[in-house]
Chains A and B, each alone.
Chain A
Amino acid sequence: MIEAITENGERREMTINMGPQHPSTHGVLRLELVLDGEVITRVKPHIGYLHRCFEKYAEKMDDYAKVIPYTDRMDYVSAMNQEHGYVVAIERMLELEVPERVEYIRVIMAELQRIASHLLGIGAFGLDLGAFTPFLYLFTEREKILDIFEKASGARLLYNYMAVAGLMRDVHPEFKEEVSDFVKTFRPKIKELDDLLSYNQIFIKRTANIGVLPDKVALNYAASGPVLRGSGVKWDLRKNDPYSIYDRFEFEIPVGSGEMGTLGDCWDRYIVRVREMEQSLRIIEQAVDGMPDEGDVMAAIPKRIRPKEGELYARTESPRGELGYYIVSDKSASPFRVKARAPSFVHLSMLPAISSGALIADMVAIVGSIDIVLGEVDR
């Protein structure tokens, strides 16, 4: 506004920094917005405020196993999935067979973590749109999952629970009952969430037809996970490129349908996450039924892992999308190179493509709907 008066009568634009200290940027993200009134004409994300040199650390740890705690810290709201991806990659390099029981526990943990992560994502999305209460209701549920994790691993956020060829320790004896209890109590809560938020008229008005991501654009940007599925593309690595024991379970891939507006809008991305939680519950139920009660949780491997020379790209489905680890081994005790392909990073890069012409309030909705975690963006 000041610029318009003093510099040039033609100029109506104002540049404004959204972040790094802003309540709705989900961490330390800085968005450089060029505004015409409240309409955004350009947006440029600036990243790197949370860079912690994951890849360099991985090369210098002198041990493949010591990298696992660092993977936790990438996407800190879904640490189990990050570990899962990494151990799957290393096990493929070593061509290891992992005990049955371990696979089942890993799947249960990964799916619980997926629910916990979506709960946070959905809750924070509602918070961005001014709905405070659903956030706290969802956090109550997330708390129950964290309690299960805490009993199993001793930690509530960064677990360091999965190990190469096994688990750090066996789960507690009541694990199965606790998980089944959670599944039972959580199902009705999804219905409650639908009533409170998903089909709330104001919420629909704020999210439908906003930040439309057409499927072609999504594929060109290499989007994955709920963001891609929100655009109607049926693509889930658990089905399309199964890892671990996901090929044994029956579940569906929910996709967006443009139910409330255009295909690929914020509401579609949101509802895909809600429906995915239901599918995760199905997987957990089947895994709890199939999980062997007895068995080792660690396969016999040498203390120092030295995979044979070569390279490998292993991808898994994290709550945010395709989490890939590209690992190069030179036969030494530490990886020659570890590259993590983080879905949030990819999704953030398409922000300018889907947000021009939006209002500031829409910008908040769009950032919330792609559900980025800055720890993963910057690594």
Chain B
Amino acid sequence: MTHYILNISPVAILVHAAIPLTIILVYALVAIWAERKVAGFIQDRLGPMRVGGWHGWAQSIADLLKLIQKEDIIPTDASRFLFKFAPFMMFAASYAAFAVIPFSSSYIGSNINIGVFYLLAVTSVLTLSIIMAGWASNNKWSLLGGMRSAAQMVSYEIPTIATVLTVIVVTGSLNLMTITEMQSGNDILGFLPNWFIFQNPFLIVAFVIFFISILAESHRVPFDLPESESELVAGYQTEYSGMRWAMFMLAEYADMLLLSLLGATLFFGGWNSPFGDFMSGPFWSFFWFMLKGLLLVFVMMWIRWTLPRYRVDQLMHICWSILIPLSFINLVLVALWEVIF
């Protein structure tokens, strides 16, 4: 298993790299359109209706074409290399993490046995790229946004990791494929699937903490402080336009999907069908997995269009004095539950 990547041909590596990329790109186009439609429905309006005919389905594609055509503006006093590099590094970080996501019962980019650890480590680079963008723009609003984001992501990584750890305590494995396979079957109360969320009451608490933390990790309302438009103009994105800005947008949506898929894998049985053997198999498992992930993404959108935003000190207060102690206590309780039952 350790030399897995080295054993396969370059063509296979390319294919393995292309599959998650395709999924992300298609998802991003759909999700950006869907976000606007969801916002529209929540706010009693229609959202995009023109481009492409049916409910403006081609709106994101049109936007993408517009962004490609835009002039590439770099502020005079910006640190040019870092400024250009930051958006691509941010996307690379969230894209690289998709390698260990088990998309289907028969497909995972790289079946390494430290999958969860790798995922959490790689996504930490996101923080770095945001600080990079904030600093390199040579704009005070960008800098404030970058600093906020650094503080926020570093803080919220702790409850995220602590809740992921509670699942690891149950599974004893860091491999996401193994974790998913452990959730197969419908044995709980005779009909409920063996998903971890149903296995242990403390894992429900863990999921709630996990979900709040990933909202903060992916900068969604009510924790969208790094780019809070009414305070910091656009935060670290202020000076970006055109394709570079689009890369940020893409990375942001990719990050949302990544964390939602991680949540689906850890708590909702990954690619397992909720009906046992019914509708299972490679294709249906991919369908169920994406459905679970997209449902979580939808909940994120729903929250975004409903709630106001927290203030930066309140955000830190929630993390350090509520979520972190709670997640560690919960970790101990889950461990005790596992020892007793």
Contact = CB atoms under 8 A, between A and B. Distances in A.
A362 B143 CA distance: 19
B43 A137 contact: yes
Interface stretch (A73-81, A202-210, A219-227, A269-277): A202-210
B308 A38 contact: no
A205 B311 contact: yes
Contacts of A136: 43-45
Nearest to A14: B140
Contacts of B308: 126, 129-131, 197, 200, 202-203, 206
A50 interface: no
Given A200-B307, A206-B308, A361-B312, A130 B43 contact: no
B233 interface: yes
A133 B230 contact: no
Interface in B210-238: 221-222, 224, 228-233
A260 interface: no
Interface string A121-144: 000001111111100110010000
A359 interface: yes
B114 to A, nearest CB: 37
Given A14-B140, A133-B305, A202 B230 contact: no
Contacts of A23: 229-230, 233
Say what secondary structure dominates the interface of chain A. Answer: helix
Interface in A195-242: 196-197, 200, 202-203, 205-206
Contact of B314 (A130, A132, A137, A205): A205
Interface string A58-78: 000000000000000000000
Contact of B228 (A1, A16, A133, A361): A361
A203 B309 CA distance: 8
Interface in A358-378: 359-362, 364
A24 interface: yes
B44 A16 contact: no
Contacts of B230: 23-24, 127-130, 364
B289 interface: no
Size class of B's contact patch? Answer: 20 to 34
Interface string A1-40: 1000000000000101000001110000000000000100
Contact of A202 (B42, B141, B222, B229): B222
B194 to A, nearest CB: 36
A203 B221 CA distance: 13
A202 B310 contact: yes
B216 to A, nearest CB: 14
Contacts of A128: 230
Interface residues of A, number: 30
A206 B42 contact: no
Contacts of A360: 144, 231-232
B224 A130 contact: yes
B106 interface: no
B312 A130 contact: no
A16 B250 CA distance: 30
A14 B43 CA distance: 38
Contacts of A129: 230, 308-309
B71 interface: no
A196 B42 CA distance: 12
Given A130-B221, A133-B43, A361 B140 contact: no
B113 to A, nearest CB: 41
Contacts of B39: 132
Contacts of B144: 16, 38, 360
A133 B224 contact: no
A16 B43 contact: no
Contacts of A364: 230-231
A325 B230 CA distance: 34
Interface in A142-199: 196-197
Nearest to B40: A136
A140 B44 contact: yes
B173 to A, nearest CB: 38
Contacts of A202: 222, 307-310
B151 to A, nearest CB: 10
Interface of B: 39, 42-45, 140-141, 143-144, 148, 221-222, 224, 228-233, 305-314
Given A23-B229, A23-B233, A130-B222, 17 more contacts: A16-B144, A126-B308, A127-B230, A129-B308, A130-B221, A130-B307, A130-B309, A133-B42, A133-B305, A137-B43, A140-B44, A200-B307, A200-B308, A202-B307, A205-B311, A360-B144, A361-B311
Interface of A: 1, 14, 16, 22-24, 38, 126-133, 136-137, 140, 196-197, 200, 202-203, 205-206, 359-362, 364
16 contacts: A23-B230, A129-B230, A129-B309, A130-B222, A130-B230, A130-B307, A130-B308, A133-B306, A136-B45, A137-B44, A196-B306, A200-B307, A202-B307, A205-B314, A361-B309, A364-B230
- Nearest 3 CB-CB pairs, A to B? A130-B309, A131-B308, A136-B43
